[in-house]
Copies of this chain bind each other. A is one copy, B any other.
């Protein structure tokens, strides 16, 4: 099963991200508001595109079951994940809606988003895009589970709800993606399977860059913007 391999490939990235400053900052309640704000602004825009890409996949799939699943996921993203974001916004002490008024596709987020779009546009088989998307739900879930297993979050821990959200809710999302990837991989040659795996690993690396981007508050090179 390709998905077994993909999950194995993800392990090193999960370990690294877990040890990086963003997740450790949440666990230890030691992360700057500026980094949380940068993350929220980037992630709100990332999720909008994630939902759009679901829409593109719907138009490419011929399976009614996959279509229904993708529709459900779109609804979830367009509405639901706000819950996890609200927790971070509360820690910052500003309304979520206000925080995300600003923000843009910062370089690492921009790369990640365009990686997904490239596959959605250029590849007919949705497995290529799904393997670029799957690291997002899968890695968040594994990070949250690991954090819950290795730490005791007190009732009043500011980010406890964030870890609870991701350890509980996303399981099925990654599962359906992996099932679809396995199904398509079953009809592919080694070269194509290699591309799926490469797409997955690149996105796992993008996940790491995305969290680190928030810590360095990464920006595009500044140029005077007066036209």
Point out residues on A near B: beta carbons under 8 Å.
Answer: 2, 5, 9, 12-13, 51-53, 55-56, 58-59, 64, 67-68, 71, 74-75, 78, 107, 110-111, 114-115, 117-118, 121-125, 190, 193-194, 197, 201-202, 204-205, 208, 220-221, 223, 225, 227
Contact = CB atoms under 8 A, between A and B. Distances in A.
Nearest to A10: B223
Given A56-B55, A111-B111, A124-B123, A227 B5 contact: yes
Given A53-B59, A121-B121, A223 B201 contact: yes
Contact of A114 (B107, B114, B208): B114
Nearest to A121: B121
A124 B124 contact: yes
A71 B58 CA distance: 11
Contacts of A78: 64, 67-68, 71
A59 to B, nearest CB: 4
A210 B51 CA distance: 30
Contact of A124 (B111, B115, B122): B122
Q: Shortest 4 CB-CB distances between A and B: which pairs?
A: A55-B58, A124-B124, A114-B114, A121-B121
Contact of A71 (B75, B208, B227): B75
A201 B52 CA distance: 25
Contacts of A190: 227
A121 B56 CA distance: 11
Nearest to A194: B227
Nearest to A56: B59
Contacts of A75: 71
Given A52-B58, A59-B55, A220-B201, A118 B114 contact: yes
Contacts of A13: 221
B227 A205 contact: no
A221 to B, nearest CB: 5
